[in-house]
Structure 1
């Protein structure tokens, strides 16, 4: 069932043969992660790519003052990783943990590299995913430099509509780059017409 969700996600972008689907399914490992459990901690090397089936994961860094800076949320149907650590097999600069109890599929780096060679459509799928990720991160950077906190909050709601009601406000605040106190005050302000 879990691999079927993954295959549906991939087939939205590329065509896979039954043989391709079988090869992919053979490499997938389904895991459960408890709420607040780490998948990856800063300093470890990421050796598996993660696809979220159920629940939600987040990636973040912690600055020298102990403040978390959330880079990404991964609800069902999203991929998450510390890409530099995964690609270069170097220590991670990000933490990845579960916001909620989650079910994930992991694919090891060695299996991923093999699938890229053996399944042209799989290689194309990840190129499409990478291009979209780069575009999203560019826009997020521009937004963080040029938009108000309220505009960044509106964009967050648009990007993660299923999460806005279930995430702690401190996570939302961290993602948009403000303090939880400022977010609370901002949300209490009357809407201007």
Structure 2
């Protein structure tokens, strides 16, 4: 089992050695090649996903085939299609690997059992949900009111390590701007 995951559970979630061992006993490890789909629209999201290494994205595909990226998930981040997971209904979103990745999956029933048995994990899970809500609300306000330049600067500040790892078309999709606009913004910021 990954030392990265073990350290994360100790340091970020504050789990004891015994609680870490119980949490790791319920997990499934997967190695993903670039482009591997973990969840496809229409499937049921059955897992909480933790990225130990690599990079995932959570996105929707519009009727015209354009992609709308909701979230990038680099190392030490969690993802899922929350509505599909909570209600066990068909997913509206896709999750795939942008890079070769090492991920850990907890089946829903196993994870919920762990939440009941490990109070520190339950408290940590609530903190993650709260942070995700705050982040989503901030992103929504930005999408509605920020200029393309402001959106790009927020991305650079929030994800400085991703600029060299994510294709520009995906960054444009995440920001909700055209590739041409993104190119213009990058050129202008390079001059300053």
Specify if TM > 0.5: yes
> What does the per-residue CA deviation read over 1:17-74, in whole Å, with 9 as the maximum and x for residues that have no partner?
2221111110111101111110000000011111001110000001111110000000
| Superimposed CA distance per residue, residues 130-178 of structure 1 (whole angstroms, 9 cap, x where no aligned partner) | 0000000000001111111111111111111111112100000000001
Which residue is equivalent to 1:94? 93
**Whole-angstrom distance in 1 between the partners of 2:190 and 2:166:** 22
The change in CA–CA distance for 1:43 and 1:25 in structure 2 (over 3 A counts) is: same
Distance 1:82 1:190, change over 3 A: closer
CA distance in 2 between counterparts of 1:190 and 1:106 reads 39
Distance 2:152 2:189 in 1: 15
TM-score by length of 2: 0.95
SS in 1 for 2:84: helix
For residues 186 and 86 of structure 2, the distance between their equivalents in structure 1, rounded to whole angstroms, comes to 40
Aligned residue pairs, count: 192
| Post-superposition offset of 1:15 | 2.5
Q: CA deviation at 1:119?
A: 0.5
Is the Cα contact below 8 Å between 2:15 and 2:120 reproduced in 1? Answer: yes
Which ranges of structure 1 fall in alignment gaps of 5 or more residues?
none
RMSD: 1.5
Partner Cα distance (1:37, 1:190) in 2 = 33
Aligned to 1:24: 23
